[in-house]
Amino acid sequence: MAKILVIGGAGYIGSHVVLELLEKNHQVVVFDNLSTGQRENLFDEAEFIEGDILDFEKLKNAMKQNIDVVIHLAAKKAVGESMEKPAIYASNNITGSINILNAMLEANVKNIVFSSSAAVYGMPQYLPIDEKHIKNPINFYGYTKSLIEDLIVWYSKLKDINYVIFRYFNAVGYDSLKRVKGKEKNPQNLLPIIMEVATQKRDSFQIYGNDYNTKDGTCERDYIHVSDLAVAHEKAVQKLMEKNGSHILNLGTGKGTSVQEIVDSSEKIISQKLSYSYAPRRSGDPAVLVASSDLAHKVLNWKPKYTNIEDIIQTTWNMEKNNG
Ligand code: UFG
């Protein structure tokens, strides 16, 4: 059992991570500014500190209670927005992360699990993408993640910080027991947008491009269930507590699912036709993005439980039905 500070623990991925940690009997403190995180994603068993990662003193105080591991999931994450408002991403993602690392030094916290992203790779040079693939982000969001990774690696060399950096592919789904209640506001990703159309919050959506060189002409992505991500975080905590080195690991399923397949499966699961049209390609979208997660399997003995996209979409639809 460890004492863990989950920064961004009220967010979409953070709340699932907290659930898994509590399930494995860890002691959890959530630190979140509730900007995109939501109060309804907090659980009674975890302590809550409302705070911002730009507030260095508050961070430092939060860490000064014998924290074993920091899990850092607090970030702005909308790719398009990051290109229009780089200052927000620089300050929240980069300055915020520097604050976290410096607070760890002051409070003598030695372990961090960091949420990075497949966005650090940019356009794939080969598939599936493994961790040796060159980092060459093509959007500012991906650049912030790449830079923070490098900072963590430097702090590790200079100050004995141990880390597990996770590069998530496309996180989707919800807790199958429906314990996570807060839906993301203003979702920017495919499946949450589809859910908004299914529940009449939006009239329709667009499929960006159907002329790619893929199985059906639409983009393929590696959709990984958020509860599988959560399990990997708990395993990373164990790994760090055993003082078993530092690692950079992809988290994906290794399987590509096309946008069209997501749409068709969603229509089947929700038993209704969705209103959508085909639009031109979105700039910066690679045709296919699929992970090799062999290293995560080897290092953490982790494998995703959810390998069928319909099961994943079903968990999203169940949550949607539950929380309207
Ligand atoms: N898409 C549509 N219509 C929409 C929204 C998305 O056709 O309205 C398509 C996109 O073009 C893409 C696929 O659905 O082909 C998935 O798009 P998302 O916006 O849901 O996700 P991305 O693959 O662009 O990016 C996501 C995260 C990034 C992360 C990346 C890693 O948003 O932060 O996965 O693979 F880096």
Nearest CA owner, ligand 1 atom 1? 190
Neighbours of 90 (CB within 10 A): 17
Three-state SS letters, 151-171: HHHHHHHHHCCEEEEEEECEE
Say which residues have a Cβ less than 8 Å from residue 311's Cβ, sequence separation at least 6: none
| pLDDT tier at 184, thresholds 50, 70, 90 | confident
CB of 221 sitting under 6 A from ligand 1 = yes
**For the segment 6-49, what is each residue's pLDDT rounded down to a tens digit?**
999 999 999 999 999 999 999 999 999 999 999 999 999 999 99
CA 290 to chain centre: 15
Does residue 42 have its Cβ closer than 6 Å to ligand 1?
no
SS3 for 23-87 is: HCCCEEEEEECCCCCCHHHCCCCCEEEECCCCCHHHHHHHHCCCCCEEEECCCCCCHHHHHHCHH
Q: What percent of the chain has pLDDT over 90?
A: 95
Residue whose CA is at the smallest distance from ligand 1 atom 16: 190
Q: Mean per-residue pLDDT for 303-307?
A: 97
What confidence tens digit (pLDDT) does each residue in 67-110 have?
999 999 999 999 999 999 999 999 999 999 999 999 999 999 99
At residue 244 the predicted structure's pLDDT band, cuts being 50, 70 and 90, is confident
Mean pLDDT of 257-272: 98
**Residue 276 catalytic?**
no
Structure confidence at residue 324 (pLDDT): 65
CB 12 within 8 A of CB 32: no
Peptide bond between residue 128 and the one before it cis (omega within 30 degrees of 0): yes
| Cα→Cα distances 120→101, 133, 192, Å | 20, 10, 23
- Which is the catalytic residue, given 89, 141, 143, 155? 141
Cα-to-centroid distance, 322 and ligand 1 (Å):
25
